Structure 1
Amino acid sequence: MTITPIVPAPRDLDAEQQRDIERFEAAVAQYLAGEIDEDVFRVMRLNNGIYGQRQGGINQMVRIKFPAGPATPEQLEMIAHLAETYSRGWAHITTRHNIQMHYVQLDKVPEVMRKVGSVGLTTREACGDTVRNVMACHLAGACPYEKLDVTPWAEAAFEHFVRNPIGQRLPRKFKINFSGCETDCGQAMFNDAGVVASVRRREDGTLEHGFRVFVAGGLGANPHPALLLEEFTTREDLLPTLEAILRVFEQTGNRDNKLRARMKWVIDTLGWDEVQRRVLKLRSTLPASSSWPGGIPAIVAKAGDEPAGRTDSGEITPVGQGVSVQLLSSDPFQRWEATSVIRGAANGTVSAVAYAALGDITSDQFRALAAIQRELGADVRLTNRQNLVFRGLSESQVRPLYDRLEQIGMARPGAELARDVVSCPGADTCNIAVTQSRGLGKAIGDLLEEEGLAEVGGIRINISGCTNSCGQHHASDIGFFGAERRAHGQSAPGYQMLLGGYVGQESIHFGDKALRLPAKAAPEAAVRVVRRFAAEREAGETFRSWLDRSGGAKGVAADLKDLDHFPTPDEAPHFFIDYDETGPFSAEVGDSECAV
């Protein structure tokens, strides 16, 4: 499929964004001239969404925010242009609705930022100790299960907090996620502030739509489940509640120890009852603030937040982690349709997932996706599993969408199947990654394909290159995080395997440690677990349920013990070389700049 390159016509930047870029451009010039200290420049760089790479020098990663996930054709075309002009010809979708490009040269970054701004996007506060990109479920506004369309609420939260003075120098990063129902496809349960749409019955019998707000969730080396702030938060009180949580964090977060600075550590220090009391007390005082965010935000009033509703007839596609997926046909289109098409909204439209292996999309693919979006008049959103979803489709558009995606290699059945492996960038570019997680992700995917297990449904595999869980390994059925191993007097790449992570139904279960493995044995370990699950599960059984009745993580790990073995360097030298590397493994890490 040949797509003629299109560079979207630039539009004027708003005054605030123009000032941001001018200030950053001046700071870059001063930094390169040696006039600004590295530590000072780092803060400014990160707050503008520019992240240093392990390669050092002036190689930079540029992170572009897509608040709530929507993307327009012009934005996809601009990403295509930027990726081939300033980066490596492809870009990477993250687990937080960002798109990243690597190897952008520092002196070119202001130019990139202007082009990003010209299509209505920003890098502002995509990194650093700020309020990060605000996320929403990728089916928000199109899901038959939702209580509210949380899209405009997430966008309102983004608009309220970006450049907000209280969020510029926080003790640490602060993340906000929205889900439209308790299924929690938006993963509210492991964020600093997680919002789940809800409904309650008033005394007069009528229904009131609002939210349940969860506080202080987090992954990383010490994962914490989010805690419910109150039984019900009204629509008018939502933004004041989020601001009150942020203000308590800004006032009480640990500024002396970055390792204990997230909101979850505030709970450890003050106790949940005290944090809860402070948040609710502070919320009650916010009407006196000059920037009080109460009431229904203008963006919500304009767009509306009515739920999609359920169709009165026809099948409603299950959603969420652990859904049962069956591929009963040999026809490629029907196999894709069975895993990638979501039906059941009251307006009769359908949604369909375009599969991007490991979240990587080439410039040509971005242009093709933009052309498809225009042709179909579809709404496109990024997903937290590093794919894209086309929404608002008619039934007659499903087959044409498949045909077009097939032409660009993005129509494989992927959603909720074993092959849909999620990975952080790893040691390819990240300063603090220990291992090449992307390489492991590809190796697992390749072996699953070879063994005929890539299309086992209802199982998620996530990989991080270190303990920080940018790949969200804690919340997946099978998770890995990178670690250095020592064997035969040499350093070698390794992974800790976790099993049974789950998020949904307003709860979260972090994966349990199974065993440590050499990096080169990790694909076989993943394949054995997937094979056993596929063979032993009962009809519709979730991975977590199967794991519990199979002896838990340790019970399943007992059958993998033979894989925790390092041959000598002479017997198998590749065990001491990481994926995508050519020389001996070395666990070299730099200063943390907080990757995702």
Structure 2
Amino acid sequence: MTTPARPANRHHKRPRGEGQWALGYREPLNKNEENKKNDDGLNVRQRIIDIYAKRGFDSIDPADLRGRFRWYGLYTQRRPGIDGGKTAILEPEELDDRYFMLRVRIDGGQLTVEQLRVIADISTTYARGTADITDRQNIQLHWVEIESVPEIWERLEAVGLHTTEACGDTPRVIIGCPLAGIAADEVIDATPQLREIRDRYIGDPAFSNLPRKYKTAISGCTAHCTVHEINDVAFVGVELADGTKGFDLWVGGGLSTNPMLAKRLNVFVRPEQVAEVWAGVTSIFRDYGYRRLRHRARLKFLVNDWGTEKFRDVLEKEYLGYPLPDGPAPAPPRNGRRDHVGVFPQRDGNFYVGFAPRVGRMSGELLHAVADIAERHGSDRVRTTTEQKMVILDVAPDRVDSLVAELEAHDLQVKPSTFRRQTMACTGIEYCKLAIVETKKLASELIDELERRLPDFDVPLSINVNGCPNSCARIQVADIGLKGQLVMDDNGEQVEGFQIHLGGSIGVSSGFGRKVRGLKTTAAELPDYIERVVRNYDAQRKDGETFAEWVQRAEEADLK
């Protein structure tokens, strides 16, 4: 006896909608989308000023507290004393402290001495002296109370700074080369384009409800210091054969738990077109981006599914209304490190001085010291970098030595070891509700230990320490990427530790780090592990061979 065929279930066979507005899916498909539809995140500012700052923490609507506050750079920080094993178990209200992290947006990393002093004052007055430079050129403060936020905003805005869209499903800070306009070898100064996008579109309701976070880089730097390969949208300086300068457009980069490298659209963008092309790419993300599942809502998933040919076609036909010409790829990044640490000449005869705090950790007092040192040496311009470092511009030749001496007296090193120069760390469990392990203190101690054990090692080597799988510290593209997790020690006890990624890189041969099966370490054993693998590399490397190149050919035993 044959079983009769069931009638076709047309609803079952229809492709599941991804929540793309342009395809008619306007109803929210998850809680985050519902919250954004109920009220634009930009509207929370007035409630903070009028209600929450006056009535206190307990008056805050949960949808604002854990959602819309991010549109103004505010996250509740982690309640002290909660270990990493509980990060994924506890409810948000159990992890929340009554204090906030506040992210000051610094597009292009560009600060005047006056602006730096204001941030330093806010740190000292309202944030228990905390200040961390991020790898996206922002400065993050901690221990901020909601009652203080309106006055903090007033102080920032009085000097041209703000926190608008520093977090949230928005166009976050635009990263740029700290040497824009002064580097002798830059392809093009991207400052006008960066500022035009910032002034026209940041805080614009047209782009205040994107599917997820959205990261932009614009630069003409020959070192490629803005790591365009891992941004949602990036404009990279290029020059045509006839000497015309403009930008190459990249889209769809991003790391986190499903890393993807950005892809070239093979177009040439003239400087005057950059802002509208940026708006076109951003509009594609807004309209066609996936809104059903948060973990698939980044632009990289759409680019990966569409491919560059379709993406370019939609950009040109639906959003720009004109074709973009084909263009050249950027020149490879200059050799060596993609940062700006050290003393180097500017095009005007002055010098810039880049220096390395410890894994981006500063303080209000140290920021004040930097402002004072810069001013005493005739500079009014200070920059933050994408490597958690800082740069002072416009130093006259006869004042360089004095400035360097004063910085180094504050342990702000201009000629740091490889380990001080290239170790980065995310916020970690000290303040972050997503973190599983401690990062900043561990990374700082790791630097000291490696300098003691390997005093003569001077080859470029990046060590990036992350407290969870989300890769704020870019672990997949580091020489040694450390992903925080709980591991078992020799006594069978669960302790803080790391999964290890080896040989990641961006640039000429971009690729994600190699994961060796079972390669993990406890936090306590981390210095021993890194010393061992670095010594193996140092002994086996060929002339000019990078760590990433060596990892690809190394025996597994030498990587453990």
Q: Is the 8 A contact 1:443 1:523 kept in 2?
A: no
User: What letter corresponds to residue 434 of structure 2 in structure 1?
Assistant: I
Displacement of 1:126: 0.4
User: What does 1:362-511 align with in structure 2 at a 5 Å threshold?
Assistant: 362-378=363-379, 379-411=381-413, 413-414=415-416, 417=419, 419-453=421-455, 456-486=458-488, 490-505=493-508, 508-511=510-513
User: What letter corresponds to residue 522 of structure 2 in structure 1?
Assistant: P
User: What letter corresponds to residue 95 of structure 1 in structure 2?
Assistant: D
Displacement of 1:489: 6.0
In the alignment, which of 43, 51, 54 is matched to residue 75 of structure 2? 51
Structure 2 gaps of 5+ residues are 1-41, 80-95, 325-331
With over 3 angstroms needed to count, the CA separation of the structure-2 counterparts of 1:97 and 1:356, relative to structure 1, is same
Q: Which residue of 2 aligns with 1:163?
A: 203
Q: Is the 8 A contact 2:73 2:163 kept in 1?
A: yes
With over 3 angstroms needed to count, the CA separation of the structure-2 counterparts of 1:110 and 1:241, relative to structure 1, is same
In the alignment, which of 61, 70, 90 is matched to residue 37 of structure 1? 61
Q: Which residue of 1 aligns with 2:190?
A: 150
With over 3 angstroms needed to count, the CA separation of the structure-2 counterparts of 1:525 and 1:165, relative to structure 1, is same
Q: 425-434 or 82-91, which moves further after superposition?
A: 82-91
Looking at structure 2, the residues matched to 433 and 116 of structure 1 have their Cα atoms a distance apart, in angstroms, of: 29
Q: Is the 8 A contact 2:105 2:162 kept in 1?
A: yes
In the alignment, which of 312, 330, 336 is matched to residue 322 of structure 1? 336
Displacement of 1:122: 0.4
Looking at structure 2, the residues matched to 465 and 100 of structure 1 have their Cα atoms a distance apart, in angstroms, of: 17
With over 3 angstroms needed to count, the CA separation of the structure-2 counterparts of 1:49 and 1:222, relative to structure 1, is same
Looking at structure 2, the residues matched to 243 and 156 of structure 1 have their Cα atoms a distance apart, in angstroms, of: 11
Q: Is the 8 A contact 1:138 1:186 kept in 2?
A: no
Q: 113-122 or 274-283, which moves further after superposition?
A: 274-283
Percent same amino acid among aligned pairs?
Answer: 32
With over 3 angstroms needed to count, the CA separation of the structure-2 counterparts of 1:376 and 1:138, relative to structure 1, is same
Q: Is the 8 A contact 1:340 1:415 kept in 2?
A: no
Q: Does 1:126 align with 2:166?
A: yes
Deviation digits for residues 203-243 of structure 1 (CA, Å, limit 9, x no counterpart): xxx32111001000001111111011123112222111111
Q: Which residue of 1 aligns with 2:25?
A: none
Displacement of 1:455: 5.5
Paired residue secondary structure (2:248):
strand
Displacement of 1:21: 4.8
Q: Which residue of 2 aligns with 1:230?
A: 266
Deviation digits for residues 271-298 of structure 1 (CA, Å, limit 9, x no counterpart): 44322221222332399xxxxxx9xxxx
Looking at structure 2, the residues matched to 221 and 123 of structure 1 have their Cα atoms a distance apart, in angstroms, of: 27
With over 3 angstroms needed to count, the CA separation of the structure-2 counterparts of 1:412 and 1:232, relative to structure 1, is closer
Deviation digits for residues 349-392 of structure 1 (CA, Å, limit 9, x no counterpart): 32211221111112222112111222223231101111111122
Q: Does 1:68 align with 2:82?
A: no
Q: Is the 8 A contact 2:65 2:76 kept in 1?
A: no
Q: Which residue of 2 aligns with 1:174?
A: 214
User: What letter corresponds to residue 504 of structure 1 in structure 2?
Assistant: G
User: What letter corresponds to residue 248 of structure 1 in structure 2?
Assistant: I
Alignment size in residue pairs = 492
Displacement of 1:454: 7.6
With over 3 angstroms needed to count, the CA separation of the structure-2 counterparts of 1:141 and 1:527, relative to structure 1, is farther
Q: Which residue of 2 aligns with 1:243?
A: 279
User: What letter corresponds to residue 355 of structure 1 in structure 2?
Assistant: A
Displacement of 1:412: 5.3
Q: 531-540 or 89-98, which moves further after superposition?
A: 531-540
With over 3 angstroms needed to count, the CA separation of the structure-2 counterparts of 1:502 and 1:103, relative to structure 1, is same
Displacement of 1:29: 4.9
Paired residue secondary structure (1:142):
coil
Deviation digits for residues 110-169 of structure 1 (CA, Å, limit 9, x no counterpart): 222222222211011001110000010222223233110122322222222211122211
Looking at structure 1, the residues matched to 249 and 338 of structure 2 have their Cα atoms a distance apart, in angstroms, of: 29
User: What letter corresponds to residue 72 of structure 1 in structure 2?
Assistant: T
Paired residue secondary structure (2:245):
strand
Looking at structure 1, the residues matched to 335 and 442 of structure 2 have their Cα atoms a distance apart, in angstroms, of: 22
Deviation digits for residues 55-108 of structure 1 (CA, Å, limit 9, x no counterpart): 123210000011111111112211221112111213100000100011111222
Q: Is the 8 A contact 2:138 2:173 kept in 1?
A: yes
Q: Which residue of 2 aligns with 1:28?
A: 52
Paired residue secondary structure (2:186):
coil
Deviation digits for residues 545-592 of structure 1 (CA, Å, limit 9, x no counterpart): 3333x42xxx3x52354xxxxxxxxxxxxxxxxxxxxxxxxxxxxxxx
Q: Does 1:357 align with 2:358?
A: yes
Paired residue secondary structure (1:373):
helix
With over 3 angstroms needed to count, the CA separation of the structure-2 counterparts of 1:519 and 1:535, relative to structure 1, is same
Looking at structure 2, the residues matched to 531 and 231 of structure 1 have their Cα atoms a distance apart, in angstroms, of: 44
Displacement of 1:264: 0.6
Looking at structure 1, the residues matched to 506 and 344 of structure 2 have their Cα atoms a distance apart, in angstroms, of: 20
Looking at structure 2, the residues matched to 278 and 130 of structure 1 have their Cα atoms a distance apart, in angstroms, of: 21
Q: TM-score, normalised by structure 1?
A: 0.77
Paired residue secondary structure (1:479):
strand
RMSD, matched Cα: 2.8
Q: Which residue of 1 aligns with 2:301?
A: 265
With over 3 angstroms needed to count, the CA separation of the structure-2 counterparts of 1:504 and 1:351, relative to structure 1, is farther
Looking at structure 2, the residues matched to 31 and 246 of structure 1 have their Cα atoms a distance apart, in angstroms, of: 37
Q: Which residue of 1 aligns with 2:9?
A: none
Displacement of 1:471: 0.8
Displacement of 1:486: 4.4
Q: Which residue of 2 aligns with 1:580?
A: none
Displacement of 1:418: 5.3
Looking at structure 2, the residues matched to 454 and 251 of structure 1 have their Cα atoms a distance apart, in angstroms, of: 53
Looking at structure 2, the residues matched to 30 and 275 of structure 1 have their Cα atoms a distance apart, in angstroms, of: 47
Q: Is the 8 A contact 2:170 2:209 kept in 1?
A: yes
Q: Is the 8 A contact 2:44 2:68 kept in 1?
A: no
Q: Is the 8 A contact 1:217 1:224 kept in 2?
A: yes
User: What letter corresponds to residue 46 of structure 1 in structure 2?
Assistant: R
Q: Which residue of 1 aligns with 2:84?
A: none
Displacement of 1:183: 3.5
